[in-house]
């Protein structure tokens, strides 16, 4: 019997703001998983040239290089950690658009986790909306989630000011990796 290979986890950062709280926490999650021996990848949507999804698959957007990259990275992952802002009570547009550019063949059966940064008080609107999208794709969302209220003051020099926040991000990342490994093993 061959040893099991560690899961491959993709971090998908959906904030357009440089050094955003959600992006920095996503980088922390990916680093924790690398330290645990997972194979990881990170896509920062600011670095991709993604068109707005119009749903018409007869148009050339599915063959654009960065759409192909996004789809290939999600398809290759056993699990995905989504991170982005909550704007006006829902998912930020860049992250939602990236999710809209995917299809069942890329997402179905994968394990997801989510981190959302909020400018104001904590709520779970964007996290709940991400859960709906993931469930619609027939994928799994781990029960852990990270909402970061007052996000602009949640970090100092890139590190959480509250140690509990760091611990929650670490646990979310490890939960995605554990679930992804179990689900992959169950599928054979």
Domain range annotation of the chain:
8-187
Burial of 128 (0-12, 13-18, 19+ CB in 10 A): middle
Q: Which of 45, 42, 37, 38 is nearest to 26 (CA)?
A: 42
Q: How far is CA 43 from CA 6, 145, 164, 167, 187, in A?
A: 20, 20, 26, 23, 26
Burial of 177 (0-12, 13-18, 19+ CB in 10 A): buried
pLDDT at 120 over 90: no
Top pLDDT among 82 and 183 is at 82
The pLDDT assigned to 1 comes to 35
For the segment 108-135, the average pLDDT, to the nearest whole number, is 93
- Of the pLDDT bands very low, low, confident and very high (cuts 50, 70, 90), residue 19 is confident
- As a whole number of angstroms, the distance between CA 139 and CA 105 comes to 11
- Of the pLDDT bands very low, low, confident and very high (cuts 50, 70, 90), residue 2 is very low
Q: 8-187: what CATH class?
A: alpha beta
**Average pLDDT of every residue of the chain:** 93
For the segment 132-148, the average pLDDT, to the nearest whole number, is 96
For the segment 62-78, the average pLDDT, to the nearest whole number, is 95
Q: Which of 34, 44, 32, 43 is nearest to 166 (CA)?
A: 32
pTM of the model: 0.95
Sign of CA dihedral 62, 65, 70, 72: positive
What letter does residue 45 receive in the DSSP assignment? G
Burial of 144 (0-12, 13-18, 19+ CB in 10 A): middle
- Range with lowest mean pLDDT among 36-45, 58-67, 156-165: 58-67
What letter does residue 151 receive in the DSSP assignment? G
Sign of CA dihedral 155, 159, 162, 167: positive
- Of the pLDDT bands very low, low, confident and very high (cuts 50, 70, 90), residue 21 is very high
């Amino acid at each position: 019997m061959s040893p099991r290979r560690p899961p491959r986890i993709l971090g998908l950062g959906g904030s357009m703001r440089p050094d955003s709280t959600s992006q920095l926490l996503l980088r922390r999650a990916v680093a924790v998983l690398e330290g645990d021996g997972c194979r990881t990848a990170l896509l920062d949507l600011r670095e991709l040239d993604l068109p707005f999804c119009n749903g018409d698959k007869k148009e050339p957007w599915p063959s654009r290089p960065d759409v192909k990259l996004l789809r290939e990275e999600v398809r290759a992952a056993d699990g995905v950690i989504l991170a982005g802002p909550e704007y006006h009570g829902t998912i930020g547009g860049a992250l939602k658009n990236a999710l809209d550019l995917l299809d069942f063949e890329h997402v179905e059966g994968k394990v997801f986790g989510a981190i959302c940064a909020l400018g104001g008080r904590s709520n779970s609107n964007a996290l709940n909306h991400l859960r709906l999208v993931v469930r619609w794709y027939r994928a799994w969302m781990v029960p852990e989630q990270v909402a970061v209220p007052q996000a602009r003051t949640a970090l100092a020099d890139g590190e959480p000011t509250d140690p509990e926040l760091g611990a929650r991000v670490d646990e979310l990342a490890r939960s995605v990796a554990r679930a992804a490994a179990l689900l992959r093993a169950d599928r054979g």
